């Protein structure tokens, strides 16, 4: 369950937060596959309660396991999975089975189901009060019993120790596997007992060979466990069961690229920083919670709103060999409850795609920023190599090679970087994939001339639009 089941020449996941299934299918074919993305994490697929004003978080309050949400219905979901798999882009589903919807005396869902969460009555599954833990609040995160058996912000807490509950959950997950998904992001894993999760994960079917998965492939599992230290529950209680969302990475990378911790310290980036082992850690600069101050990470988190620093942090994340990487793709927001772009009836709007690859219509599409998608290509190019020829100026300028496949330099100082470097690349002229795109033998950005012996002069001005420069074998002109 640690293998993300990706095509072997690709390795980055993008979270297309709140996108519609039809739009994701198009995106797989038109953009993600050609740019070398390996997979998409999609928003929850099962029916959720309709909340007044339609905030994004209504999708984290399930009413049933029917595959009908604002993103589309089951047919649209199945179509999307098929179309994405056909072009080598895997689908990972955000699944919520710690709980159902929170208190409400007459809830109506996105598939038209009705429920009475107040009395724990969810006839569309069906679940009744018997399937839930007794109600209590979580206020002490140092008490594992409370965190796992009480209600996270009032969300009715399922008892995964019960056989019937396990069956319903596995039925739901198996259904998704049949439709061709490659794995799951398990929401609120910290709020469930590892022993129960172990039983559930082991029961899930093997991946569907009709979607190109090898026989006996197991679904990839990444568990949402926020562990920044100092709580009663540790990520290590879950890390033998599946991968973990490594929130420490998000906090530390934000701190470094905000200029609050010298970049030179990134020299030993990885497990020595208290992160999980590389193959168990799913990492990200920000996620859908901490970009809006939900969940963990606090003020260190970088988002699209600090664009220069954000792109640098993302470039470092993708340039470094550590871990499984996920890119956040957001909608623009002013306040933390604000819903995704939608019309007055609450229908989700599609992103507007411009000819320069960027998008609009209220969507940010970080994954369509040149500095980000070109680094996805960089990461694919340098796969299998380590970090070598590390250089730093003792503060906030760093550079390194990835074997003989790629070279990257960062300048977070308020003075220019202008220096000769060992790039580890064969002699030739290369296109910097941060400031431009390579198009045949043309480069729309800066070019770097590498001489015999791999040396090249690298310049990144302090006032430049981006504080990073990256070249690799695939960007040779
Ligand atoms: C309100 C009060 C509560 C009260 C409750 C009573 O605030 O004190 O107990 O009413 O009914 C929304 C509202 C929240 C409201 C709740 C119930 O924001 O104010 O509680 O609904 O009506 C998302 C959002 C939450 C949202 C939730 C459900 O972040 O704000 O709550 O969806 O719609 C911890 C966990 C971690 C979690 C993280 C946010 O360990 O697991 O908090 N992260 C995941 C998801 C996240 C999601 C959930 C878990 C829940 O990534 O997006 O929460 O599925 O760190
Ligand atoms: Ca629980």
pLDDT tens for the 477 residues of the chain, in order = 999 999 998 999 999 999 999 999 999 999 999 999 999 999 999 999 999 999 999 999 999 999 999 999 999 999 999 999 999 999 999 999 999 999 888 999 999 999 999 999 999 999 999 999 999 999 999 999 999 999 999 999 999 999 999 999 999 999 999 999 999 999 999 999 999 999 999 999 999 999 999 999 999 999 999 999 989 999 999 999 999 999 999 999 999 999 999 999 999 999 999 999 999 999 999 999 999 998 766 789 999 999 999 999 999 999 999 999 999 999 999 999 999 999 999 999 999 999 999 999 999 999 999 999 999 999 999 999 999 999 999 999 999 999 999 999 999 999 999 999 999 999 999 999 999 999 999 999 999 999 999 999 999 999 999 999 999 999 999
Q: Atom of ligand 1 at shortest distance to CA of 147? A: 40
Residue nearest ligand 1's atom 23 by CA: 57
How many angstroms is it from 249 CA to the middle of ligand 2?
25
How many angstroms is it from 170 CA to the middle of ligand 1?
24
Instruction: Summarize pLDDT for 350-407 with one digit per residue, the tens.
Output: 999 999 999 999 999 999 999 999 999 999 999 999 999 999 999 999 999 999 999 9
CB of 18 shorter than 6 A to ligand 1: no
Confidence (pLDDT) at 103: 84
How many angstroms is it from 360 CA to the middle of ligand 2?
38
Structure tokens at 464: 């430049």
Residue nearest ligand 1's atom 15 by CA: 153
Give me the catalytic one of 47, 131, 151, 187. Answer: 187
Residue nearest ligand 1's atom 40 by CA: 188
pTM: 0.98
Confidence (pLDDT) at 297: 66
Closest ligand to 96 CA?
1
Q: Which of 41, 62, 294 to mutate to test the pocket of ligand 1 (most atoms within 8 A of CB)?
A: 294
Closest ligand to 335 CA?
1
CB of 294 shorter than 6 A to ligand 1: yes
Q: For Cα atoms 211, 91, 24, give the angle at the middle one, nearest 5 degrees.
A: 110
Confidence (pLDDT) at 105: 85
Q: Tell me whether residue 196 is one of the annotated catalytic residues.
A: no
Q: Tell me whether residue 416 is one of the annotated catalytic residues.
A: no
Rounded to two decimals, the ipTM of the complex is 0.98
**Bridge partners, residue 428, by sequence:** 450
How many angstroms is it from 86 CA to the middle of ligand 1?
36
Confidence (pLDDT) at 22: 98
């Amino acid at each position: 369950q640690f293998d993300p089941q990706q095509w072997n020449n690709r390795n980055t996941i993008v979270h297309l937060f709140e996108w519609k299934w039809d739009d994701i299918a198009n995106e797989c074919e038109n953009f993600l596959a050609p740019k070398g993305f390996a997979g998409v994490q999609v928003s929850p697929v099962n029916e959720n309660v309709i909340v007044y004003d339609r905030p994004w978080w209504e999708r984290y309050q399930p009413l049933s396991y029917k595959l009908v949400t604002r993103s589309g219905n089951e047919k649209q979901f199945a179509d999307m999975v098929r179309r994405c798999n056909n072009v080598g882009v895997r689908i990972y589903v955000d699944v919520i089975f710690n709980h159902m919807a929170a208190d409400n005396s007459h809830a109506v869902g996105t598939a038209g189901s009705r429920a009475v969460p107040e009395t724990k009555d969810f006839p569309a599954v069906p679940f009744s009060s018997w399937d839930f833990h007794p109600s209590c609040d979580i206020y002490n995160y140092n008490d594992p019993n409370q965190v796992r058996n009480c209600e996270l912000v009032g969300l009715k807490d399922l008892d995964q120790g019960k056989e019937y509950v396990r069956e319903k959950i596995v039925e739901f997950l198996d259904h998704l596997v049949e439709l061709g998904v490659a794995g799951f992001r398990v929401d609120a894993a910290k709020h469930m007992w590892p022993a129960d999760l172990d039983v559930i994960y082991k029961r899930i079917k093997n991946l569907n060979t009709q979607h190109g998965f090898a026989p006996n492939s197991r679904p990839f599992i990444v568990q949402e466990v926020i562990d920044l230290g100092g709580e009663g529950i540790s990520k290590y209680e879950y890390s033998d069961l599946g991968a973990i969302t490594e929130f420490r990475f998000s906090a530390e990378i934000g701190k470094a690229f905000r200029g609050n911790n010298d970049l030179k310290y990134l020299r030993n980036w990885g497990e020595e920083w208290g992160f999980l082992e590389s193959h168990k850690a799913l990492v990200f600069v920000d996620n859908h919670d901490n970009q809006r101050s939900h969940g963990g990470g606090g003020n260190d988190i970088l988002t699209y709103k600090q664009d220069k620093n954000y792109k640098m942090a993302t470039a470092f994340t993708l340039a470094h060999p550590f871990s499984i990487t996920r890119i956040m793709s957001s909608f623009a927001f002013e306040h933390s409850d604000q819903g995704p772009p939608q019309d007055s009836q609450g229908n989700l709007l599609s992103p507007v795609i411009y000819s320069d690859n960027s998008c609009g219509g209220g969507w940010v599409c970080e994954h369509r920023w040149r500095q980000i998608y070109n680094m996805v290509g960089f990461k694919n190019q340098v796969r299998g190599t380590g970090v070598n020829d590390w250089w730093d100026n003792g503060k906030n300028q760093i550079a390194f090679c990835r074997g003989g496949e790629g070279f990257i330099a960062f300048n977070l100082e308020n003075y220019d970087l202008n220096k000769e470097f060992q790039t580890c690349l064969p002699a030739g002229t290369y296109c910097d994939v941060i400031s431009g795109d390579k198009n045949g033998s043309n480069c729309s950005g800066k070019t770097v001339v590498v001489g015999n012996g791999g040396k090249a002069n690298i310049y990144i001005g302090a006032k430049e639009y981006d504080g990073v420069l990256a070249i690799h074998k695939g960007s040779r002109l």
